[in-house]
């Protein structure tokens, strides 16, 4: 147990050495600040690390992860990350990345109580209900789960677009695109679901907020 923990520091030392060999200024540059172009909202699953699967480096992606990559409007942690990344860091792309084989999505399809997490997963059940005709028509359980993974990503992208943070950025003509991606654990392939949005044009009226009048 201690050994696997100590291994982290040994790995870190090796990583620092290797990184300094490649670019002696790397840590010096990064310590001066960050200007990532991407915000990543992904699943906490240990098998879906944002930097590794996109071949990016520290400094490239601002990251928020939770179980099943959810955008929940009362989640202060998510909202703070979103506000900071859009209004302070000025990210241009927000990526919601789901993954096939997501345990959270699979659990949400069942009826077994797991614990506190049931309340979090209920948001995915709402996605299921919205798309139940399509989902119920898929007989194979794995295929149905995969489709719910995709639909859940798409709904979270739309939930981002419903926030005042994103809508105000668009009103101010900031370049900001929202994307939905899905990652396949079995192949390592990252796929664009082609649901990119950069305006409220296709959104139901009830979600489109007026720009506040600043006194
Ligand atoms: Co997951």
How far is Cα 179 from Cα 54, in angstroms, rounded to an integer?
Answer: 15
Residue-wise pLDDT tens digits, 144-166: 999 999 999 999 999 999 999 99
- Catalytic annotation, pick one of 64, 97, 102, 159: 102
pTM, entire model: 0.95
How far is Cα 94 from Cα 84, in angstroms, rounded to an integer?
Answer: 12
131 counts as catalytic:
no
97 counts as catalytic:
no
In a domain, 11, yes or no: yes
Question: What pLDDT, on a 0 to 100 scale, did the predictor assign at position 120?
Answer: 97
In a domain, 211, yes or no: no
How far is Cα 193 from Cα 150, in angstroms, rounded to an integer?
Answer: 8
Give the up-direction half-sphere exposure of residue 157: CA atoms within 13 A in the CB hemisphere: 30
Q: Sorting pLDDT into bands at 50, 70 and 90, what band is 215?
A: low
Same domain for 96 and 51? yes
Same domain for 27 and 73? no
Q: Sorting pLDDT into bands at 50, 70 and 90, what band is 174?
A: very high
Rounded average pLDDT over 87-91: 98
Domain count, the chain: 2
> Taking all residues of the chain, what is their mean pLDDT, rounded to a whole number?
96
Residue 193 Cα to ligand 1 midpoint, Å, equals 17
45 counts as catalytic:
yes
How far is Cα 173 from Cα 199, in angstroms, rounded to an integer?
Answer: 10
In a domain, 210, yes or no: no
Task: Look up residue 214 and give its DSSP letter.
Answer: P
- CB neighbour class for 127 (10 Å; exposed up to 12, middle 13-18, buried from 19): buried
47 counts as catalytic:
yes
Residue-wise pLDDT tens digits, 56-76: 999 999 999 999 999 999 999
Residue 69 Cα to ligand 1 midpoint, Å, equals 7
- Catalytic annotation, pick one of 47, 73, 122, 208: 47
Same domain for 75 and 180? yes
Residue 98 Cα to ligand 1 midpoint, Å, equals 7
Domain that holds residue 11: 1-33
Residue-wise pLDDT tens digits, 99-158: 999 999 999 999 999 899 999 999 999 999 999 999 999 999 999 999 999 999 999 999
Same domain for 27 and 114? no
Same domain for 15 and 44? no
Residue 75 Cα to ligand 1 midpoint, Å, equals 18
pLDDT over 90 (residue 212): no
How far is Cα 88 from Cα 157, in angstroms, rounded to an integer?
Answer: 21
Report the CATH number at residue 183.
3.40.1050.10
Q: Is 62 helix (H, G, I), strand (E, B) or coil?
A: strand
Strand-by-strand arrangement of the 190-192 sheet: 61-66, 38-43, 93-99, 177-183, 190-192
Other CB atoms within a 10 A radius of the CB of residue 143 amount to: 11
- Catalytic annotation, pick one of 64, 97, 99, 147: 99
In a domain, 96, yes or no: yes
Same domain for 28 and 114? no
**φ/ψ of residue 101, rounded to 5:** 80, 20
**φ/ψ of residue 99, rounded to 5:** -150, 140
Residue 17 Cα to ligand 1 midpoint, Å, equals 33
């Amino acid at each position: 147990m201690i050994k696997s923990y100590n291994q982290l520091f040994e790995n870190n030392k090796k990583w620092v050495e290797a990184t300094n060999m490649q670019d002696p200024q790397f840590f010096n540059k990064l310590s001066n600040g960050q200007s990532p172009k991407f915000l990543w909202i992904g699943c906490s699953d240990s098998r879906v690390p944002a930097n590794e699967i996109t071949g990016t480096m520290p400094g490239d992606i601002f990251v928020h992860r939770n179980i099943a990559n959810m955008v929940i409007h009362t989640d202060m942690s998510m909202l703070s990350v979103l506000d900071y990344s859009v209004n302070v860091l000025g990210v241009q792309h927000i990526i919601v990345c789901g993954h096939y084989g997501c345990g959270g999505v699979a659990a949400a399809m069942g009826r077994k109580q797991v614990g506190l997490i049931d309340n979090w997963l209920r948001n995915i059940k709402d996605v299921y209900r919205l798309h139940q005709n399509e989902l119920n028509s898929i007989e194979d359980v794995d295929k149905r789960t995969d489709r719910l993974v995709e639909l859940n990503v798409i709904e979270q992208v739309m939930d981002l677009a419903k926030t005042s943070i994103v809508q105000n950025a668009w009103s101010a003509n900031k370049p900001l695109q929202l994307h939905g991606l899905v990652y396949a654990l079995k192949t390592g392939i990252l796929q664009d679901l082609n649901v990119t949005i950069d305006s409220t044009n296709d959104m139901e009226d009830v979600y489109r907020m007026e720009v506040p009048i600043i006194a």
